[in-house]
Structure 1
Amino acid sequence: MEALFWGCFVGGALFAIISALLGDLIGGWLDGLLDFTSLDFLKPVVTASVVTGFGGAGIILSRYTGLSAVTVVIFALLIAVVLGLIIYFAYVKPMENSENSTAYSEAELPGKVGEVTVPIPQEGYGEVMLKLVGGNTLHIAVSWDRREIPAGTIVVVVDVKDGIVQVSELYENQNSKELE
């Protein structure tokens, strides 16, 4: 019985190491293999955790307790299932839900507040940093009201034409250096 536990423990550990090193390659080969089952919890990380947990729990229980072989297998299975559930609900599910898009549309830019990083002359181009969903982005900018805008000035995007943001100085928050 201990050979079974060692096989599961070593096999699960090797699977975890190999999938960590070659995960993208193997994932491409097996892509969609288990889609017909619609079992969301059959992820490789959960499966490897259950198999490795079963083997490890079985080794420990058989060596350090006086339980019968059947009882050891039952407890090892219970421990493995609990470990798999913990891995699934504490790691896999939150990671699936944390996928964020960093994309934005130019239609979203008007009204955004930013800071001038390269001075904008009356007739010419400068640069503005805007805080968006994916982080800070830099945009080529012109002065909407044809005024010179120095670096460090807080501005608001009035319009976007041909990929160039048209900005105007935001007088109310002129002393604020924090972007909203």
Structure 2
Amino acid sequence: MEVLFWSCLLGGVLYAIVTVIFGDLLGTALDGALDFLSADSPWLQPMTLVGGVTAFGGAGVLLTRYTELAIPAILVIAVLGAVLIGIGVYFMYVKPMKDSENSTGYSMTEMGGKIAEVLVPIPATGYGEVLLRVGGAGVTNQIAASFNGQTIEAGARVVVVEVKDDTLFVSRLDLEG
């Protein structure tokens, strides 16, 4: 039984070392061939599973060497320890990292309703340019036209009413009524 515990412990440590040192290198070299290992389920993330297996092995080794407990009791305690460590890894590392992901990507279809500032004046029947915030902390310049056929000067605040043919159709933002 001790061989199983040592195998789990050393396998987990080896996995951690390889992923920390060679993780990006292997991912690029294998061109996503191992992407199937990243499960869609939040609980079945490789980090939580390997953390649990490593904890199982470590607890088993320690309990076998330093206690007089019987093998069934050692197995139960080691499995409980693995589950607790796996849950801890998920809530203290995996979930916060997932929640902190911030993308600067955006789609033109998401622009409707956004507030922008006119950079290049928009004539009644032509095109100008607006600046608006997208994603987490990004900004983008986009081609804009007047939605209602009115001239809009530079510096004016506008709202995107419609997006058509990669052009934002905007209207002056009037918050005073």
TM-score (norm: length of structure 1): 0.63
- Matches of 2:46 and 2:87, distance apart in 1: 13
Distance 1:75 1:28, change over 3 A: same
Match of 1:48 in 2: 50
- Matches of 1:94 and 1:28, distance apart in 2: 24
Contact 1:120–1:148, Cα closer than 8 Å, also in 2: yes
- Whether 1:87 and 2:81 are equivalent positions in the alignment is no
Match of 1:120 in 2: 121
Contact 2:152–2:172, Cα closer than 8 Å, also in 1: no
- From 104, 126, 130, the equivalent of 2:107 is 104
- Matches of 1:8 and 1:112, distance apart in 2: 52
- Matches of 1:109 and 1:47, distance apart in 2: 40
Q: Give the SS at the match of 1:15.
A: helix
Match of 1:29 in 2: 33
Q: Give the SS at the match of 1:29.
A: coil
- The aligned length equals 167
- Whether 1:164 and 2:164 are equivalent positions in the alignment is no
- Matches of 1:47 and 1:110, distance apart in 2: 42
Contact 2:27–2:34, Cα closer than 8 Å, also in 1: no
Contact 1:149–1:169, Cα closer than 8 Å, also in 2: no
Q: Structure 1: 5+ residue runs without aligned partners?
A: 174-180
Instruction: Look up the equivalent residue of 1:84 and give its one-letter code.
Output: G
Query: RMSD across aligned C-alpha pairs, in angstroms?
Result: 4.1
| CA drift at 1:54 | 1.3
Instruction: Look up the equivalent residue of 1:82 and give its one-letter code.
Output: L
Distance 1:40 1:27, change over 3 A: farther
- Matches of 2:38 and 2:134, distance apart in 1: 37
